[in-house]
Structure formats: C-alpha cells, structure tokens
Structure 1
C-alpha cells in the first residue's frame, strides 16, 4: 500500500508547489472584471461546466440559505428537506441511509446509495461504509445535491437508489467568514472560510472544528474538517484543485434495550456500551481540468487520490471486537462532449479506479455470555485480509434536443476485479488453528482468490416542455452494484465461499415539475425492482437471491404565500416489500414490508420574513410508523417533531442565529430496531436542545 500512499503525498506536494507559481503568474495577467465573475458550475447530473439540463434527470438541491439557517450538527437534519430521503441518525455522527428505499443495514447495504463530495465518491466502489457521509464537509457546504434512482450514466456501482453529493464552496474568490456555534450538552463549533482572488487564479480554505460532549453517558464527538481549493483560469483551460481532510474521534453510545425504553428519560441517557468508539481519518485530493477545444467540443478530466483509515469498536457484536480498516486509491473521471449537429450531441467517457484496501478484526478479551457464545466467538484475530480492486467503466450517451423535446439514450459498462489475500489460516478455526466447539467458530475466512464482476447499465430518458413554466419527464434505467468486499470475504459459520452476483435494479419513473405564479412544484412517481439482493440468510450465509420492490410518489412544493410568508413541503408515500420467498420464524416474508420502511414521511417548513433583517422558520418533521423486523411482528409508532429556527442580520456582516430543536420535548427514537437476541432496541433522541450562532462576513 506504500505505492498509493506515496502517490497521495506526491499529489499534495505538486499542489503545494504549483499553487504559488500559478497565483503569481495570474496577478500579472488578470482578465477583465466580467470574466472574473463567471462561476463554472458543475452539478451532480454532469461533469461539463455550465450544463445544467439533463433530460429525465431531476436533482434536488439544499441551498446555502437552508444550510446556514439549519446550522446542522448532523447531515440528516438537512436531508430531511428532500422528498424520498429517510436517513436515520445513530449516535454521534453515525447514521443509516435511506433514499427511495428502506433504511439500509448490513455490511454491504451502503452500496445502495453513492455518497460523494464535489462529484468524487467518498469511498471506492467495493469499500463503502454505512456512515461514510461524516467524511464530507456538509456542515459548511455550498449546497447538497440529491439525485434519486439509477438515472445517470456517470454513476455506476453503488448508485442504485441514487447519489448524495456534497458540494463545497468556491473559496478562491474574495470571501471572509468567521462563525461560532454554541449549543446544549457541550456543543461547540468554530467555522472559518477565507479566500483570495488573484484574477485568473485564486486560493482558499473552508474549515470547521467541532466539540460535542453529548447528552448520553460517556458519549462525545471531536471532529475537524478542512477543504482547500485552488483555481486557475486560462484561455483554453480551467483547472480547479481541491483537498479535503477530515478527522473524527467519537465515543459512541449504542442502543438501549426494552420496549419503548426511549420514552424513559433515565434510560435514554444511559449507555450500554461505554467502551464503544470510532476514530477515522480521510484525505482526498482531486483536480478538475476543463477544456473547450478548437472545434467547440468540451472535455472534463478529474484525477483524484484517496487515503482513509478507521478504528471501530464493534459494540453490537459478542466480544466487542475491534475493527481496523483502511483504503488507499487513485482514479480518474472523464467526460467528452461532441456536438454532432444542431440537434444531436454525444457524451462519452472512461472512469478508472485502483484501490488497495485491508481489514482486520481482533478481540482482545474473552467473550462473556452463554456457553455457546464463549466457545464460538474466541479471543484473538478473526479476520485479516487485503484486497486490491480495479474498476474500469466506459460510458456513452446520445442526446437529441429540438424545441421543447429533449431525449437521451445511454449506457455504462463496468468491470470490477478483486484480488483478495487472506493473511490468517483459512476456515473457521481460532487464529492458532484450534477448533471451536458447538460445530466451529463463528467467523469464517475464505482462501485467497480473485473475483470479477461485469455489468451493463442502459438508460433512456426524455423531457417535454409543455410551456416555459412546465416540464414533464420520464425515464427507464437499469442500475447495479457489485458485491462489496466485506460481503465476499467476511463470512460466518460453514460458509467458505460467497458465490454472489451483482445486485441489479430496474427503475421506471415519470413526473412533472414547474412553477405557477408563486408556486414551484415537483411530482415524481417511480417503481424500482431489485434482483439478486444480497443478505445474510438463516444459516448465516451471504447469499444473493433476494428480490425487493420499491415504489412511491414524491411531492415537493415551494410556495410564497405572501411577501412575508413562505411554505416549503417535501413528502413521500412509498411501499418497500420483499418479493422473494424466505421463511423466518415459521413466517414466509414474501409480500411483507421491508423492515424500517415508513410509508409516509413529510417535512413542512413555514417561514416568516417580517422585515429585510429577520427570518423565523418553523419545521414539522413527520415519520410514519414502521415494522422493525422482516416478519412484521414488531413495530415503532413513528413520531412528529417541531424545530424552530431564527436569524437576524445586524448589518456590517454580523448575523445571529438561534435554534430550538425538538421544540415540544418529544420522546422519540432516532432509530428503532428489533433483534432476536436483545428484543426491541433504540437510539434515543435528544430532548429539547438549543443552539446560538454568530457569523461575521467581512
């Protein structure tokens, strides 16, 4: 892995070396004021700057005003504004994702949603982490974009249910901001945004430092995040270089057990896993090179490197082992656009990525509990493996536009290869080779091997402008995700080989968006069927013979009731069901609701603007009841939550924010779950809490 680490350090050195030189050259060759003010916007639906129209692809955006007013301590607070998103917060910065899906759980479930920052996936395709969005600087983002469903040829594996893309601000212009947040339960955050514009170049920083001692016993978060950016604008080429570094040191409070235990204030504050922790660092460096060629064709090339590692106490497993994982990698994203004629154009590209990953799981003390657990979950090393992964993905899309019509046909082909090396003894023995009783040890290590997966993802979409204010659209697409490394090589019980295939999804969607007088609206109807769904069966084998069906209706509204009153609404009604036969506890789950899949979720925000300096917003978040087990025998009752947020601009760049979260002091569960081992269990919410913020733009 030293080769990729060296590449990461080399990229840092190159950026540090050339930034001053380019900046000095820019000062002697500054363009006129008009060209300095041009912003090259790249969105989640394309890599070509300034191209914001992709037929049949709808991107929901959380903008800078909402981000500033929310002052979120967790990205889930902002994703509530998106219809179809149902992210559930865990403890600290942990969460479980949901986007047109049930809440995704399991070692590889994170592969259902692609998480990115500045269009660069946070993790390599085969090495996702269920909590990976804590490595994006969402707290100080310029905007957060959400693409739903497998809609774009730009994204392959891990984008079945969509993409959550955090866009960091362009700090290469003259920008100066200091901020401080102070909240309940020891919450403190310092924010800095500083930039310098040299004309046809610029450099800047976007940073935050967070300390949160927490509401529950022995919990807390220390977190630091920084974005660095450099910009160079030449006659025929624009180069933007970015660096993100994040560090998380978290003391974690786990589930509390017992039916509706979250309603008991004393129990809600307890921590049944006081030794749980998570410590993670992540570094990403990228450089986006955009060119307009002599014939008018456009080219975007984005090389990048990643370096990540994490230590994690697995408090939810018997014996509470320690997991240590890391990955280093490099890749490149490309997009080339050629105008064939007045109405026809083609987009094509090649994405390539190489990643070296490793995982170790070690238990430093004997297991406590039943004789079965003590014997089958031994002290010592459980897993120690390395995986070299190579991904190659060419894609192309043919576009046609004529008047109100826009049509796109495209496809992406992706080849993924894993070269897996087991550094321990093969099989389900202890690390010294001795056998466990009761049939063998819990953890099974497959022999070193290679696995490869190939997938083709066709897509077709169209849109029609009924009027300048109204657009209807429709799309048919196929998505996929290759099995994650943890699903292939982190086996249990008798399984010595995970014979898995890629998860596939077929999505059909139609909708309408537009505006009428003071109302902006968007309605979407979708049906997504997944095949080869990977799950752990009753024999503890990882298998890929599951089927699920996801369908729903989404509605988003922004309505200016008067000059002073505004209403925003994001709501979804959805069903997520098992479509395969599997018997659990004598119940065939075929047709059952997938667990942790509320049918109705809504977010309503009423904003009052009494004058040019004041803003007051009341938010109502509704989560419907949902089943907490596949058999649909246990459920959570749902909840309604009110939040109040205000902002006052004092002038001279000083703005003060005040927020009351959980205004009515509701006792609810951020997440509810049912385990056959522990019964009903919950991540309890915080009671009513406050945050006061001061921001100075100078």
Structure 2
C-alpha cells in the first residue's frame, strides 16, 4: 500500500492522468455522442451499461504512441500488455481485468468488426493495424459473449479504420529511432457526400534490430475499404487487409543475466513469421422505419512459419564401454508450418419501436464460423555420440477443424428518458476435431446471457449494473498430453461477471469514472509453458474482483491531466491451489498522462505507468519469487506549424522509459523450479515527421 500511495503522489506531481482513454474519452465533452460500433446497434458510450473507453483520432494523434501496443499500454490502466519480444509489437499479448495467464484468449480484438483473435494459441497481431489508419479505438470492459461469442469473456477492443467524413486527403509519415528502428506510413481517403460513397487505403512498413540480440522485426501492412450508402440508410462496406510480420525470437534469460546483460540471447537462430490476409463485407438493408437487416461475411487466411533451435549437453551411458558416463552434445532444429483458414457468416435483424415515452430496441442474429488449421512439424535431431540411434529427421502432419453455430438475441427497453433495461442470450454449438488426438472429436453446447440496468439522469452522467454469463472454447491446439501423445479436446471454460459503475462528464472539461466487478470462472484452461503440451482445465474455480477509478480534465490548447487506477485480486478458489494468486495478474496498475500547450501549435506531454509485482507464468502453486513491480516514465513533444511553407507538417519526438529503468515484462517458472525472464526495452527515443494533405 505504501508503494501505491507513493506512486499516486509522484503521478500527481508529474501531471497525473491518463485520458487513459483507457479510461475515458479524449474529449470528455463528447462522451455521449461518439457512436460505439462494437455495440452492433449504433449506440453511444452513454447508452451502454458497461465501462466504455473511446480513444478518437485526436487522442491517438496527441498520445505520442508509436503503435497500437504503445497506445493501449500508455492510455489504459485496466489493460495490461505482456511482451515476450521486448519492443516488438507483433509479440505483444493483451490481457484485461486480471486475466494474466493466456489472457489474450479472453479479450476479443477486432478491426472494423473483423476478429483478430486466431483459433490457435497465437495472440492477436496488434502490429497488424497502423496507428495512423485508426479513426478510433473502442474498449468495452466486461463480457461481450452474448453478441460476439467466443474470446470475449473479459471484454472487447474494436479498432475502427473507416474515416468519419468524405473529404479527400491523405497523410505520409517517416520515423526513426533507437535500435535502428525505421518506418514509413501512408494513407489516402476520400469520397462523395452527395453520392454517399467513401474509400480509404492505409499502408505501413517498419524495421528494427530490437533491444536485444536476435530481437529484430520487419512489418508490412496494407488495408483499405470502400463504403456505399443510400438515402434510406442502407449501406454496403467492403474492406480488406494484408499483414506480414517477421520476428526474431530472443527468448528468456536467467535472473542474473537480465539484470546485468539484458541484451543477451540464448536462441540466436529462432524466428517466427506470420502472413495474414482477409476480406470482410457488411451489407445493411432498411426494411422500414422500424426494421433493418444486416449481413456480415468474413474470410481470412493466416500462414505461420517458426523455427526453434536448441543446443546443449547431457550425461549418458556408453553401452560399448561398460555403460561408462559420457558427455553427449546435441542439437535440435524444430520447424513448424501451418495454414489457418477462417470463414464467418453473421446475419442480423434489428428492430426499433417507439411508443409514448418508451423505446424498445431488439437485435437477433446467428453466427456461423468454420476454422481449419493444417500443417506439419519437422524435427531434425543430432547427438554426438549417438548411442541409441536417435539421430535423424521426423515429421508430423496434422489437421484441426472447428465449426460453430451460434444464435443470439438482445433486447433494450428505454423509458422515462433516463432508464434502460437490457437482457440478452446466446446459444452456441461447437464441433471440434483434431486428428492428432487419442479422442479426436468433441461436441459442446454453451450459452451466454446478460441482464443490465442503466440510469442516465442527466446528459453526461450514466450509472449501471450488469450481470453476465460467458464461455470460451479452447484453442484448436490447446490439448493435454500424456506419454508424448495428445489426448483430448478440453472442456470449454465458463463463468459469470457482476459489474457496476458510473461515468460522469461535467462542466464541459471534467470527467470522473469508476466501476467495480466480480468474476468467477469454472474449468478455466491453464497452460504450463515449460511442460510441453500440459494444457488442463483448472482443478479450482478462479475468482477475480476489483475496481477502476479515474478522473480527467482537459482545456483544448491549454492543458490536460488524467489519472486512472485499477486494482484486481485474482485467486484460485478451492482445490489444490486454493487462495493462490493467478500467474501474471497484476494487483495494481496506475496510468497517468498530462500535456501542456506551450503555444497553439506546440505542446509537451508526459506520462507514468506503474505495474505491481506478479507471479510468474506457470507458478500456480506460488512457490517461486514474484516478478518485481515497476514504474516507467515517458515524455515527448509535438509541433504542428500553421505558417507556409510548413503548414500541414507535424514534427514529433518521444522518449520511452525515460530513466532507463531495468525490468522484465514477463517471467516463467521453469521445470527446474526457478524463474526465467523476458527483459523489457531500455530507454529509447523516436523522431517523426508527417505531412497531411
């Protein structure tokens, strides 16, 4: 508690705040006006009975963030980012509300309504979205399983790239900084308001050598879309994307190594490459004043290649020399290649009826999804001397399939202009097959439900209480092993959440917000990272309870200051781990940001983020040492001249980890009963120049 209090004092002195969007909106005065597309029915943040944070284009531009990962980390307290590749955004994992271990499987990440979550145990590629292409980021905390099904147990993050208006224009940017990091972005957008058509194209490239040895990456992005609307409100939207992420994998270090030589690596030959492309179509038709129908269709293909190279030595017994102890040197070259195809079809019906002072909004739909993963593993092993004929190459082919059919409905009744009742449910049947398993098939019937009360007594103020039930199916490759053989498909994890909160914007400049939650899960899927294939359903229930508090103030072209604090107590409830902390779940997170305009064209900004200590991955029994907490500052400057010939240019400079704090992003409890660590990036800087036309 002393540490948290000290951090709070330092944050206030530094300037407090995190428009932390995370916890609020950029321009707090706009809380009730920004349409949240992730609501599926075009509601505003004020109309949703759950914590909603929206970062609009202005907030993103003023944040000084380098990429989406950087933005979420700086601007939120309820979200935590786990990085195993230091500053590589392609290797970052997002978690929410105390979901530390494999938390990325419980937060649904979407771009314009398209799922980024993979059906396998790979985290969503947050590097796939160029920061300059984002119109807004919507963060909805609490279960979204009724409307979205799988992967939304803890919340939903929706990134919107469609521009708000029809104006012709574009933007180009180049940037560079520490660790030989260079990049470029370009975007183009336009349209015709009278014809109700618009288009947008965004591209980006980034290269870096990384903070550590074998820590480089190269990213290519291209996405765009078009939208055609009609006078009655109907529209057609088509969007497509391409991403190629090449990453070197620096691996982990011992405690002594990361403290004294964090730039080292013991895996100089390991790498990971993922190529993804997708096509999404949304068609909405207007039947009459009360009824609309919508059809969303998605196709995506992801191709993955990875290599892990291990060398070492062990003692064996020479059968040709009376079994004398002998040192054996070995090398193991393991490669994995697979393709993942996903298809999704979601028809929906939206009905709105008004009578007297009452308004009823009803949405019903179905979601049909098919995922197929097929690939091969190749293992080349060589030992010297080879006593038992183990040297050679082995290969394995495999195929995973999943079909899911979900049916959902949600009704919202508003009356007295300030009260709304919401209730909804989803039923889903899932067929899964894995050709590698002893028991290769499984059929699961799952359901989700919610009920909520929303009270908005005045504009800018909302209070709510909500109860939700959720579920998550295991990843396609999330299977338990026995005797080096995959056994079965795990049971879905299920649970429920109770939320209550308040969000109040007043005097056009101030905003305060807070929410409390209690979550309990059953059959939660745990993963031991150092015992290969050890995926299990938890023998205990897991309880997560906590709260978020925040406050913000902004006066445009003068100053802004915001702060948000999140507390989470995540523990096993019953069973062999009763009372033990959930691995990688931080108890306290504080995000604070401030900015001050030196004059109308130039402002300086700074921020502080504190994360408390955590248990290492796989340390379910809490036997090891804790990963130490840390606090990191960042500062920066933006200058946007308004005089010719520099009008349209913007210059930026940012320094992250200002005081070069040495800490680890993540730790794992190894099979040898000690902790290994993934070092975080040290102090780094970035300079950027952009031109908007």
Q: What TM-score, normalized to structure 2?
A: 0.83
How do 1:413-492 and structure 2 match up within 5 A?
413-420=427-434, 422=435, 445-447=436-438, 449-488=440-479, 491-492=481-482
Q: Which residue of 1 aligns with 2:184?
A: 190
> Counterpart in 1 of 2:419?
405
Query: What does the per-residue CA deviation read over 1:451-470, in whole Å, with 9 as the maximum and x for residues that have no partner?
Result: 22111111101110133332
Work out whether residues 101 and 161 of structure 1, in 8 Å CA contact, stay in contact via their aligned partners in 2: no
List per-residue Cα deviations over 1:239-288 (Å, max 9, x = no partner). Answer: 111111100111221111134x3332xx2111111111111111111111
Unaligned runs of 5+ in 1: 1-39, 423-444, 583-588
Distance 1:50 1:542, change over 3 A: closer
Q: What is residue 515 of structure 1 aligned with on the other side? A: 505
Give the corresponding residue for 1:357.
Answer: 373
Quote the residue 1:601 is aligned against: 589
Instruction: Give the superposition deviation at 1:383.
Output: 4.4
For residues 232 and 455 of structure 1, do their structure 2 counterparts lie closer, same or farther at Cα, with a shift above 3 Å needed?
same
User: What's 2:362 paired with?
Assistant: 346
2:208 is aligned with 1:212: yes
Given candidates 633, 640, 649, the residue that maps to 2:640 is: 649
Which residue pairs with 1:145 in the alignment? Answer: 138
SS in 2 for 1:665: coil
**Which of 399, 403, 413 is the aligned partner of 1:390?**
403
Q: What's the CA shift for 1:300?
A: 2.3
* Secondary structure in 2 matching 1:154: helix
What is the DSSP-based 3-state SS (H/G/I as helix, E as strand, rest coil) of the residue aligned with 2:147? coil
Q: Structure 2 vs 1, CA of residues 44 and 321 (structure 1 numbering), >3 Å: closer, same or farther?
A: farther
1:263-662 matches, cutoff 5 A: 263-264=259-260, 267-314=261-308, 319=332, 321-342=334-355, 343=358, 344-366=360-382, 380-381=393-394, 383-402=396-415, 403-420=417-434, 422=435, 445-447=436-438, 449-488=440-479, 491-493=481-483, 497-498=487-488, 500-517=490-507, 518-536=509-527, 542-544=535-537, 545-560=539-554, 564-582=558-576, 589-628=577-616, 629-632=619-622, 633-651=624-642, 652-662=647-657
C-alpha distance 635-541 of structure 1, shift in aligned 2 (>3 A): closer
SS in 1 for 2:152: coil
Seen in structure 2, the aligned counterparts of structure 1 residues 332 and 271 have a Cα distance that, compared at 3 Å, is same
Structure-2 separation of matches of 1:684 and 1:182: 22
C-alpha spacing 1:69/1:540, structure 2 compared with 1 (3 Å): same
- Give 1:70 deviation, angstroms: 4.0
CA contact (8 A) 1:218 1:274 kept: yes
Aligned-partner SS, 2:146: coil
SS where residue 77 of structure 1 aligns? helix
Matches within 5 A, 1:111-122: 111-122=105-116
Q: CA deviation at 1:320?
A: 5.6
User: Structure 2: how far apart are the matches of 1:674 and 1:64?
Assistant: 40
Report the 3-state secondary structure (helix = DSSP H, G, I; strand = E; otherwise coil) of the residue aligned with 2:621: coil
Gaps of 5+ in 2: 1-32, 312-330
Alignment of 1:120-139 (within 5 A): 120-123=114-117, 126-138=119-131
Maintained 8 Å contact 2:478/2:489: no
Output the CA distance in 1 between the equivalents of 2:152 and 2:91: 20
When residues 668 and 499 of structure 1 are mapped into structure 2, their CA distance, relative to the original with a 3 A threshold, is closer
Instruction: Report SS of the residue matched to 1:159.
Output: coil
Structure with greater proportional strand content: 2
Which residue in the other structure is 1:436 paired with?
none
Worse overlay, 644-653 or 46-55? 46-55
Q: Are residue 62 (structure 1) and residue 55 (structure 2) matched?
A: yes
1:433 — aligned with what?
none
Q: How many angstroms apart in 2 are the aligned matches of 1:447 and 1:222?
A: 39
Q: What's the secondary structure of 1:68's corresponding residue? A: helix
Aligned to 1:3: none
Residue 616 of structure 1 and its aligned partner are, at CA, apart by: 0.9
Query: Would you say the 8 A contact 1:315–1:321 is kept in 2?
Result: yes
Structure 2 CA distance, aligned partners of 1:316 and 1:41? 51
CA contact (8 A) 2:206 2:218 kept: yes
Distance in 1 (CA, whole Å) between partners of 2:567 and 2:429 is 36
**Aligned with 1:98: secondary structure?**
strand
Cα distance in 1 for partners of 2:388, 2:440 equals 29
- Structure 1 position 77 matched with structure 2 position 74: no
Please say if residues 55 and 463 of structure 1, whose CA atoms lie closer than 8 Å, have aligned partners that are also in contact: yes
Structure 1 Cα separation of the partners of residues 43 and 581 of structure 2: 42
Greater relative contact order (Cα < 8 A, sep 6+): 2
Cα pair 1:576 1:597 within 8 Å, conserved: yes
Change (3 A) 1:235 1:466: closer
Report if the CA contact (8 A) 1:71-1:139 is conserved.
no
1:232 is aligned to 228
Query: What is the CA–CA distance in structure 1 between the aligned matches of 2:297 and 2:144, rounded to whole Å?
Result: 23
State the Cα distance separating 1:211 from its structure 2 match.
Answer: 1.0
Q: 1:42 to 1:319 in 2, by over 3 A?
A: farther
Change (3 A) 1:540 1:151: closer
TM-superposed deviation, 1:74: 4.7
Distance 1:280 1:542, change over 3 A: closer
Preserved contact between residue 335 and residue 347 of structure 1 (Cα < 8 Å): yes
Which segment drifts farther, 161-170 or 209-218? 161-170
Contact 1:48 / 1:335 at 8 angstroms: preserved in 2?
Answer: no
Quick one: structure 1 residues 662 and 245, their matched pair in 2 at CA, closer, same or farther if it must change by over 3 Å? same
In the alignment, the residues of structure 1 paired with residue 501 and residue 390 of structure 2 have an alpha-carbon distance, to the nearest angstrom, of: 51
Distance 2:391 2:113 in 1: 42
Distance 1:527 1:645, change over 3 A: same
Cα distance change, pair 375–387 in 1 and its aligned pair in 2 (3 A): farther
Tell me if structure 2 keeps the 8 A contact 1:366–1:379.
Answer: yes
Q: Describe the superposition over 1:620-650 as per-residue Cα deviations: whole angstroms up to 9, x where unpaired.
A: 0111122222232311221110100210111
CA change 1:185–1:59 in 2 (3 A) is same
1:251 equivalenced with 2:248 (yes/no):
yes
Shift of 1:547: 1.7
Deviates more, 1:150-159 or 1:130-139: 130-139
Aligned to 2:661: 666
Per-residue deviation, 1:472: 0.9
TM-score by length of 1: 0.83
CA RMSD, Structure 1 to Structure 2 (Å): 2.8
State the 1:44 CA deviation. 4.5
**1:117, 1:316 → 2: CA distance?**
37
> Are 2:225 and 2:237, in contact at CA under 8 Å, matched by a contact in 1?
yes
Shift of 1:609: 1.3
Does residue 219 of structure 2 align to residue 223 of structure 1? yes
Deviation at 1:53, TM superposition (A): 5.3
Q: Post-superposition shift, 1:559?
A: 1.4
The count of residues paired between Structure 1 and Structure 2 equals 619
Distance 1:493 1:243 in 2: 44
